[in-house]
Structure 1
Amino acid sequence: MPFFRLLMLAFPLLELASLIVLGNRIGVGATLLWVLGSGLLGLVLIQRQGWSMLQQLQIKMAENRSPFAVLKTGMWWLLAGVLLMIPGLITDVLAVPCLVMALLNKDRPAPGEPGGPGVYKRGGNTIIEGEWQPGEAKPAEPEDRIDQR
């Protein structure tokens, strides 16, 4: 727990130090423009994707379909927007993988959706189809098997 507290104290200082270094490299005006631009970009991402996500959720729920894919993509957009709104270079760098994940998951179907992994029930168990890789022929333990009664 002390490490987490130390990290929470050090993080704003690291962000401030990164902004000071950036200000020395490209100038104060460009640094302020960077902070303002990334904050506005984060705000726009949250607003646009938030409303879009709510509309898509309403459509999925009205069609009685799984909202999992919409929520997963929306979570990445929201996290990227929040990280961009926080002033500093470290959070801006952390926002880039979130944006990549949001774009990768944008049109990926959820389990049970057409084109996604199949989902069906056998007895009292829900089975989600997955992929098998050769060389992983390790048998499942008896307590991990689905057909155990």
Structure 2
Amino acid sequence: MRVLIMLFLLVPILEIWFLVAAGRGIGWVPALLLCVLTGVIGAWLAKREGLQIFRLAQVQLSRGELPGEAILDGICVFMGGLLLLVPGFLTDIFGFLLLIPYTRGIAKLFIKRWLYKRIRNGQLNILTFNKFNRF
């Protein structure tokens, strides 16, 4: 919880600082246009990657496979799209990193390690999800 509070305080401060620095360096109009351009390009890329992941999940499901990797890819693309909606350059950088397949693979490794650690420590119990599958 403390980490979230720090992120909610630190990220806007850094974003404002980067926007002001960009405005001083290249002017406020080009900085604003660059911010809008990254949002438009990011939305297009998120849509493209999201559709590819959806198709991959459909193929995996039709073969009787669990689309675990596709689900993680989808989570990363969704988070990247959300970060691109937030105005600013810092969140745009992280958003693009989650949309590019190679760097998304690195993020997926961190997510997998985090999930495995939580499962091993007993903080996340997969068996509790079976309560909802009693039909």
- TM-score (ref. length: structure 2): 0.63
Dislocated runs of 4+, deviation >3 Å:
1-4
Segments of structure 1 that go 5 or more residues without pairing to the other structure are 106-149
Q: Is the 8 A contact 1:60 1:67 kept in 2?
A: yes
Q: Is the 8 A contact 2:15 2:88 kept in 1?
A: yes
Question: Percent identical across equivalent pairs?
Answer: 26
In 2, Cα distance between equivalents of 1:3 and 1:61:
36
Deviation at 1:60, TM superposition (A): 1.1
For residues 68-105 of structure 1, the C-alpha deviation after alignment (integer angstroms, 9 at most, x for no partner) is 12222333333222222221122123235423423679
**CA 1:97 to 1:48, structure 2 compared with 1: closer, same or farther past 3 Å?**
closer
Of Structure 1 and Structure 2, the greater strand share is in 1
Alignment of 1:1-149 (within 5 A): 1=1, 4-98=4-98, 99=100, 100-102=102-104
Of Structure 1 and Structure 2, the greater helix share is in 2
Of structures 1 and 2, the larger Rg is shown by 1
For residues 13-63 of structure 1, the C-alpha deviation after alignment (integer angstroms, 9 at most, x for no partner) is 321121011110011121011110111122112222222222221221111
- Give the AA of the match of 1:13: I
SS at match of 1:78: helix
**CA 1:56 to 1:26, structure 2 compared with 1: closer, same or farther past 3 Å?**
same
- Give the AA of the match of 1:101: T
